[in-house]
């Protein structure tokens, strides 16, 4: 995607377009490039009525993305594809997010791999993680069993339904 095309899609906001055109870098006011820090993106702050769905757990910036989910009520954190990228990382990230982010803004599953068999395999991985992580928190008395069961319903079904305003 060309820079000018992205700038047009961002309403002519060059800061937003830089963030979108190169997710690993951003440009500061002096035109110098610095390492990308997700928490520095002004786009979310400037568009508080826009709902942002941050895919792939923001990997490898999952902790920073978690802070965006904690501090901005218009940000949802999406675990789509994360289980395929790294199942161990998915467990760690999900555990941190459950402690950090309002539960209604964590999306537990999404897959667009194109083959039904791959979607099913990805779903099996997601279900394992979505069951194991809250269960471990229950065992350690960090969550009640009732809350863990609520999370198991909310993350893969209720939260995406709410975010995308889908009817049940």
Could you state, in order of their start, the residue ranges of all structural domains in the chain? 53-163
Mean per-residue pLDDT over the chain, rounded: 83
The burial class, CB within 10 Å (0-12 / 13-18 / 19+), for 162 is middle
Q: What angle do CA 160, 167, 101 make, to 5 degrees?
A: 25
> Looking at per-residue confidence, does 39 or 164 come out higher?
164
pLDDT digits (tens, 9 = 90+) for 49-80: 899 999 999 999 999 999 999 999 999 999 99
pLDDT digits (tens, 9 = 90+) for 74-86: 999 999 999 999 9
Q: CB-based contacts of 53: which residues, under 8 Å, 6+ apart?
A: 76, 78, 107, 163
Of the candidates 15, 17, 101, 12, the residue with the CA atom closest to the CA atom of residue 58 = 101
Paired tokens of 146: 């009732």
pLDDT digits (tens, 9 = 90+) for 86-121: 999 999 999 999 999 999 999 999 887 789 999 999
Cβ–Cβ under 8 Å, residues 29 and 23: no
pLDDT at 4: 44
Q: How far apart are CA 154 and CA 133, in angstroms?
A: 14
């Amino acid at each position: 995607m060309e820079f000018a095309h992205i700038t047009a899609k961002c309403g002519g906001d060059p800061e937003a377009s830089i963030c979108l055109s190169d997710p690993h870098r951003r440009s500061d006011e002096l035109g110098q490039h610095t390492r990308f820090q997700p928490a520095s993106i002004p786009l979310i702050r400037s568009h508080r009525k826009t709902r942002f769905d941050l895919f792939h757990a923001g990997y490898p910036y999952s902790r920073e993305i978690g802070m965006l989910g904690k501090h901005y009520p218009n940000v949802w954190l999406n675990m789509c594809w994360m289980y395929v990228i790294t199942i161990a990382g998915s467990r760690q990230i999900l555990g941190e997010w459950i402690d950090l982010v309002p539960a209604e803004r964590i999306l537990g599953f999404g897959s667009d791999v194109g083959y039904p068999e791959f979607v099913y395999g990805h779903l099996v991985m997601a279900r394992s993680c979505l069951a194991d992580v809250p269960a471990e928190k229950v065992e350690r008395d960090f969550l009640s069993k009732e809350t863990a069961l609520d999370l198991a319903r909310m993350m893969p079904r209720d939260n995406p339904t709410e975010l995308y305003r889908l009817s049940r």
